[in-house]
Amino acid sequence: MKPKIAIACQGGGSQTAFTAGVFKALFENKIQDYFNIVSLSGTSGGAICAFLIWYALKKGDDIVWKRLIDFWEDNTAQTAQEKFFNDSAIKTLEWVSKGKIPQYNLSPYSPIVKAWFSFATQGLRRRFTDFEELLGSHIDFSELATWGMQPEPPILLIGACNILTGRLHKFNSYREAIKLEHILASACIPNLFPAVSIEEMAYWDGLFSDNPPIDSLIKSNFVGIANLPQEIWVIKINPTTRDKIPTEADDIADRRNELEGNLSLFQSLGEIENLNNLFLRGAFNEEFLAKIDVKEPMKIPKSFPDDPDQDYHIPMIEMSEDLAKLLNYESKLDRSPEMINRLIQDGEKQGKKFIETRLKQMGLNNESR
């Protein structure tokens, strides 16, 4: 039988175009021939990628990754005016981070902000300035509304933060119908967009939640016993390590953002590592394990590669070191074609390397494939 896998996608704004490249490589290298994808999860930009792949699988698209790549290409600055708007915004943010110009803290609810944005985006494509419009160009949400809950694999989990209750929240296709508002909620950056209201609750970016959702992937009440994975693959955006101490204000802010983005991921992986250790020490009886079809420790990425105590891991799928060093916090908002294309291409490279290595670990090589 094919191993059951869950793929979790970390958030990171425009940098999650890398995730699109990874998915393209995984499906081009026939991931479905060797693995059973039982669930997908994501936060913010990672939620968008996971959602588009989930939707393509449910629709039975011939080329599973195409809808996702088309979305990212559509999301780039295409006209001269869009490129000017994008480059000016990114450069201004960089100057603010470096302290070259003053920072003004304005609310997305402010009439001044709304008026400025309306003026500054005149003449730009609607899909470039309206995220809901962009999503609607690639997803038939009226059709999606007729689907209802989807308890059959793959299950989709989308991370968000309920800002009224202060609790983490996962929108879950196993329990409810997935809606446009769920995607908007997970990607709602508080300084840029008003909170997304759903029924009587309000939500912000899933960065304040699980980035990405991990622990729910191994809970039968979230995904169903039949959909518990044997492996979890993480497509990771924020780098774990740095080779020097950040000393400039912008570097400090950038590193702080990376650490915050990884915090919930490492906590969730740590919980699973603890469960694996309990399993190896015989803490669970055979009858219980048989009910959830667990025969061995779950294969998960190492939180820290140099940890000698964890030997039941698979690597995370991460950007190349050269590319990661070029990126900063502002690049998470950069939609220049050069940046997006480079991220996608690096994702393809790293995704191909990952799947080839994983297949070799299973005793499969190019000839047997």
Please write the tens of the pLDDT for every residue from 314-350: 889 999 999 998 998 889 999 999 999 999 999 999 9
Q: Are 181 and 198 in contact (CB under 8 A)?
A: yes
Q: Is 96 exposed, middle or buried (0-12, 13-18, 19+ CB in 10 A)?
A: middle
Number of C-beta neighbours around residue 29 at 10 A: 17
Q: Are 68 and 60 in contact (CB under 8 A)?
A: no
Residue identified by tokens 């588009």 is 52
Query: Which DSSP helix (H) or strand (E) runs through 69?
Result: helix 66-74
- What residue type is 111 in one-letter code? P
- Is the per-residue pLDDT at 310 higher than 60? no
- Is the per-residue pLDDT at 286 higher than 50? yes
pLDDT of residue 64: 97
Q: Are 293 and 286 in contact (CB under 8 A)?
A: no
Q: Are 228 and 154 in contact (CB under 8 A)?
A: no
Beta strands in the chain (DSSP E): 4-9, 36-43, 155-162, 168-172, 196-198, 201-204, 231-235
Least-confidence region, from 22-36, 300-314, 319-333:
300-314
Mean pLDDT of 189-200: 90
Least-confidence region, from 6-20, 84-98, 149-163:
84-98
CA atoms within 13 A on the CB side of 202: 7
Q: Name the nearest CA neighbour of 29 among 258, 315, 359.
A: 359
pLDDT of residue 296: 84
Q: Name the nearest CA neighbour of 316 among 362, 272, 292, 351.
A: 351
| Most trustworthy range by pLDDT among 73-87, 119-133, 261-275 | 73-87
Number of C-beta neighbours around residue 224 at 10 A: 17
Assign 369 a pLDDT band (cuts: 50, 70, 90). very low
Please write the tens of the pLDDT for every residue from 210-244: 889 998 999 989 999 999 999 999 999 998 888 88
Mean pLDDT of 33-50: 96
Q: What residue spans of 124-239 are helical by DSSP H?
A: 126-129, 131-136, 141-144, 180-186, 220-223
Alpha-carbon span 189 to 171, nearest angstrom: 17
- Is the per-residue pLDDT at 141 higher than 80? yes
Q: In the structure encoding, which two tokens stand for residue 222, read together?
A: 């979230």
Indicate the angle between helix axes 45-59 and 17-28, nearest 10 degrees.
30
Alpha-carbon span 160 to 176, nearest angstrom: 15
Q: Is 363 exposed, middle or buried (0-12, 13-18, 19+ CB in 10 A)?
A: exposed
Q: Is 97 exposed, middle or buried (0-12, 13-18, 19+ CB in 10 A)?
A: buried
Least-confidence region, from 148-162, 239-253, 341-355:
239-253
More confident residue, 361 or 27: 27
Q: Is 200 exposed, middle or buried (0-12, 13-18, 19+ CB in 10 A)?
A: exposed
pTM: 0.92
Please write the tens of the pLDDT for every residue from 98-120: 888 887 788 888 898 889 888 88
